[in-house]
Amino acid sequence: MNRIRMHMLVCGGTGCVSCDSTEVKDALVREIMEHGLENEVQVTITGCFGFCEKGPIVKVYPDNVFYVRVSPDDAKILVGEHVIKGRVVEKLLYGDTPSDIPFYKKQMRIALRNCGLIDPEKIEDYISVDGYEALGRVLTGMTPQQVIGVIKGSGLGGRGGGGFPTGLKWELTAKAAGDKKYVICNADEGDPGAFMDRSILEGDPHSILEAMAIAGYAVGADEGVVYIRAEYPLAVERLQKAINQAEAFGLLGDHILGSDFSFRVGINLGAGAFVCGEETSLMNSVQGGRGEPRIKPPFPSETGLWSKPTSINNVETFANICPIILNGAEWFSGIGTEKSKGTKVFALAGKINNVGLVEVPMGMRLGDIIYSIGGGVRGGKSFKAVQTGGPSGGCIPASMLDISIDYESLSETGSMMGSGGMIVMDEDDCMVNIAKFYLEFTVDESCGKCTPCRIGNRRMHEILSRITKGGGTLDDLEQLKDLGEIIKICSLCGLGQTAPNPVLSTLHHFYDEYEAHIVDKRCPAGACTELLRYTIIAEKCIGCTLCARSCPVPCISGERKKVHDIIQEKCIKCGICYKKCPVDAIERK
């Protein structure tokens, strides 16, 4: 019999896989075989650890050592030193500590509990960490009403962005008339930079299937659909494997665990339209129609997929279900704030040191996430704002770092929870340009159905483009505000209703930056190239001619050993002279 004394968990999330973690695993396996240790040391591919910035990650149990940025070449030393000699390989540690990494210190992992812990492709691994116990408990000892009662009592809100009480959604679907009902898992994670749903599906697919089955039991549905983006091939593959395994184990299919309850799950691939994350668009898409929203009401709980009552929840929401069933509503509602219960997963991105996935209790101070967990702004630059809630969220300025992270507080700032994207910006980011960037995304992704979103957002984007090119007027700012407010209150679906948020929130918090673009024709962050001005500081110029020789236009005049000059009318603001000048004699403003 094998006596495994050591586990080496290699991250198999998409981020690490793209940094060769599969090769790392193969190299580790090879090394272990070479030393004949295959019966003592087991190498496992797991789900995402969340600390993507430092991937590929290898974690060694039972020593609890966390190795970062491991390359396939490191396999030799890892096995030779750590596995055989029991010596920690210090050069692969994060900082100087083998565990107890600050990134994880303040986290509380419920939805991500199994990511980085189990092999997502083995149902046995899932079962060994209490997997399918919640489903068993529900089917053997609880009525659907009791299940709904627990979820309601937990205070769990929809993690896809809206925060709508999950238990209530289930209750409405359960109460809706109809013998055919559906449960949908919304895995059409569309916010750029957000990847918590992908990580959960890649790292812990069974937890979603189990939760969907519980939802099916609670609402009276016998069919589940996971709507997942085709751009998530690894998640799709693991989910399909998980479905096959669960069916083989009798945990999905007819008469689950010998009960009267039957439930099947199918996968529906999305083609990548952002709007298909909106529930009614998603259902149109599943039905083979164009991904565009329907008027609500009727809500999906009454008239959903194929016009049948449907409960649709997001991946992260489902990921919370089993722990709630196992630990009870009170346990969950004890976490978080008065109105926002539990934890939330955030995808940290942008100008932050620790890019990755973090799960924290609701109510944590925004600044703590960015500094204690995220490690602060990259390159020692100063923090300017954080954009939360995906492309249709808002920008929160430095002055508000003390706010608590919960649904209400975020809304008050003009932003939103959204799916949990958190993009950090520093002094080099121009807020007008950022607003334009996000709006461009929603303009591209608008389905085109309703007027305010289709034409209104486009007009706002045009105004922003004008401003970033120096052609804006102060009237434009009034127009932006007016139009933005109207688009918010008139659009048909959530996409349009939130699309102006980046513009409105930056207008509110960074009005002076807009003014600078319009009145001074200047971009304070130096990001809007068309507003930049390159000039030569006469006192510094040594007349080396390097700038003139590098200029592609050319627009720099001057003789050797004499002060040079940039002809502004001709300058295309490419910045080459600025980079080439050996004496920093070129000023960029």
Partner 1 sequence: MKLTINNSEITVENGATILDAARILGVYIPTLCHFEMPEVGVVNRTGTCRVCMVDVEGRHNLLPACSTVITDGMVVRTNTPRAVKSRRTMVELFLSNHPKDCLVCERNQNCELQSLACELGIREVKYNGERMKFKKDTSSFSLIRDPEKCVLCRRCETMCNDFQTVGVYSAIHRGFSTTIGPAFDLPIIDTCCTFCGQCVSVCPTGALTQADNTAEVWTALYDKDRFTVVQTAPAVRAALGEELGYKIGDDVTGKMVAALRRMGFDRVFDTNFAADLTVMEEAAEFIERLQNGGKLPILTSCCPAWVKFIEHQFPELLDIPSSCKSPHEMFGAVAKTYLAEKLGIDRQKITVVSVMPCLAKKYEAARPELMYGEDRGYVDCVISTRELARMIRESGIGFQSLPDEAFDGVMGESSGAAVIFGVSGGVIEAVLRTAGFLLTGEPLQDVEFHELRGIRGIREASVNIAGRDIKIAAAHGLHNARRLLEDIRDGKALYHAIEIMACPGGCVGGGGQPYYRNDLSVVRRRGETLYECDRKNPRRCAHENLEVKRLYDEMLEKPGSHKAHELLHTKFTKRTGY
Interacting stretch for partner 1, rule CB under 8 A, among 140-148, 241-249, 342-350, 478-486? 478-486
Q: What is the C-alpha to C-alpha distance for residues 427 and 380, in angstroms, rounded to an integer?
A: 10
Cβ(577)–Cβ(547) under 8 Å? yes
The amino acid occupying position 329 is A
Are the C-beta atoms of 402 and 366 separated by less than 8 Å?
yes
- Return the DSSP state at 392: G
Tell me the site size for partner 1, rule CB under 8 A: 32
Q: Which is nearer to partner 1, 383 or 441 (CB)?
A: 441
**Could you give the CA distance from residue 535 to residue 525 in angstroms, rounded to a whole number?**
17
Residues 368-427 contacting partner 1, CB under 8 A? none
Q: Of the two residues 46 and 457, which places its CB atom closer to partner 1 in the complex? A: 457
Nearer to partner 1, 66 or 299 (CB): 299
Per CB under 8 A, 449 contacts partner 1: yes
Stretch of 70-78, 443-451, 532-540, 552-560 lying at the interface with partner 1 (CB under 8 A): 443-451
Of the candidate spans 41-49, 70-78, 104-112, 439-447, the one that interacts with partner 1 by CB under 8 A turns out to be: 439-447
Of the two residues 314 and 491, which places its CB atom closer to partner 1 in the complex?
A: 491
How far apart are alpha carbons 537 and 321 in whole angstroms?
A: 64
DSSP secondary structure of 19-41 = TTHHHHHHHHHHHHHHTT-TTTE
CB nearer partner 1, residue 491 or residue 506? 491
| Residue in this structure with the two tokens 């709904």, named with its chain if needed | 148
Least gap, CB of 496 to partner 1 (angstroms): 9
Q: Does 290 bind partner 1 (CB under 8 A)?
A: yes
Comparing CB distances to partner 1, the nearer of 125 and 292 is 292
**Rule CB under 8 A: is residue 492 a binding residue for partner 1?**
yes
182-187 vs 223-229, strand pairing mode? parallel
Segment contacting partner 1 by CB under 8 A, of 258-266, 339-347, 490-498, 538-546: 490-498
Q: Which of 284, 446, 501, 506 binds partner 1 (CB under 8 A)?
A: 446
* CB of residue 463 to partner 1, shortest distance in Å: 8
Least Å distance, CB 277 to partner 1, is 15
* Binder among 81, 462, 515, 565 for partner 1 (CB under 8 A): 462
CB atoms within 10 A of CB 266: 12
CB of residue 43 vs partner 1: minimum separation in angstroms?
45
Instruction: Measure CA 585 to chain center.
Output: 42
Please compute Rg for the chain using Cα positions.
27
Instruction: Provide the minimum distance between the beta carbon of 198 and partner 1 in the complex, in angstroms, as a whole number.
Output: 23
Phi/psi at 223 (5° precision):
-140, 135
3-state helix, strand, coil in the chain (%, to 5): 45, 15, 40
Smallest distance, partner 1 to C-beta of residue 19, A: 33
Distance separating alpha carbons of residues 65 and 57, to the nearest angstrom: 10
Helix 205-219 / helix 144-154 crossing angle, nearest 10 deg: 120
> Does position 443 bind partner 1 by CB under 8 A?
yes
Closer by beta carbon to partner 1, 63 or else 462: 462
Q: What is the DSSP letter of 492?
A: S
C-beta of 310 vs 446, nearer to partner 1: 446
Polymer length in residues for the chain = 589
Residue pair 393/415 in contact by the 8 Å Cβ criterion:
yes
Query: Quick check: 287 binds partner 1 (CB under 8 A)?
Result: no
| Residues that bind partner 1 in the complex, under the rule CB under 8 A | 273, 290, 292, 295, 297, 443-452, 454-456, 458-459, 462, 479, 482-483, 485-486, 488-492, 497
